[in-house]
Amino acid sequence: MGQGLRLSVNNLACERGGRRIFEGVSFTLLPGEALVITGRNGAGKSTLLELLAGRLHPAGGKVLWEGAGERSLPECLHYVGHRDALKSALTAQENLDFAQDFLGNPALSAREALEAVGLVHAARLPVGYLSAGQRHRVALARLLVAYRPLWLLDEPTSALDVASQETLRELLEDHRAKGGMIAATTHAPLFLSEPKEIRIERSAAPSAAAGEWQ
């Protein structure tokens, strides 16, 4: 499905709050590939995903998205971050129906997506009643209701039990098998087959504007 797509990240640098977070980050991602992003707390893993999602602007370097025609990078990706963007008063099913309408390019139905994450029994419960792990699974089910070739996942195993981590691994491999691309931050092994890996190191020197820190 994603044939011909290519994400190229060249010498990316980022500053936040006047501080240089990281620099010199480069990688490419092709259909079927997964990138695992590791690094210490505060190294800038979530920041890198936010840059890719178009939520932050780089202080240097380039993000190139090729092969998608008129569609910009933000239009071609799903981003699942620490904030799940689910509406607590709506049911899991309603949240997913809303996401499908909003995102377009429908794939699985809300019910099928909930089945895929083992939550069909919770379809009619307000998301505010769900446990942290169940709520996170609803956020992951959103990946399945609208097709987007690139999945950006910030610590996707967080709050998941062992069985759900395995379900997630299968969903990720299935997405790759269909030509999808994944970039995921993690502190725990994702057990993906032959992932690319990048370790983000906090920049050694403060930016000129920042002065000393830490």
Residue ranges binding ligand ATP (CB under 6 A)? 16-17, 21, 39, 41-47, 185
Give the SS3 label for residue 194: coil
Can you tell me the distance from the alpha carbon of 166 to that of 48, in angstroms, rounded to the nearest whole number? 25
Which amino acid would we find at residue 199? R
Nearer to ligand ATP, 42 or 104 (CB): 42
Min dist CB 43 to ligand ATP, Å, is 4
Min dist CB 173 to ligand ATP, Å, is 24
Min dist CB 92 to ligand ATP, Å, is 26
Min dist CB 168 to ligand ATP, Å, is 18
Min dist CB 52 to ligand ATP, Å, is 12
Can you tell me the distance from the alpha carbon of 21 to that of 42, in angstroms, rounded to the nearest whole number? 9
Nearer to ligand ATP, 1 or 188 (CB): 188
Min dist CB 46 to ligand ATP, Å, is 3
Write the DSSP assignment of 74-134 as a string of letters: GGGEEEE-SS----TTSBHHHHHHHHHHHH-SB-S-HHHHHHHTT-GGGTTSBGGGS-HHH
Q: How many CB atoms lie within 10 A of CB 120?
A: 16
Question: Quick one: which H or E segment has residue 135?
Answer: helix 132-145
Give the SS3 label for residue 198: strand
Contacts for 10 with CB less than 8 Å, ≥ 6 apart: 26, 61, 62, 64
Nearer to ligand ATP, 73 or 210 (CB): 210
Nearer to ligand ATP, 69 or 82 (CB): 82
Cβ atoms of residues 35 and 196 within 8 Å:
yes
Can you tell me the distance from the alpha carbon of 98 to that of 48, in angstroms, rounded to the nearest whole number? 28
Nearer to ligand ATP, 23 or 149 (CB): 23
Nearer to ligand ATP, 40 or 178 (CB): 40
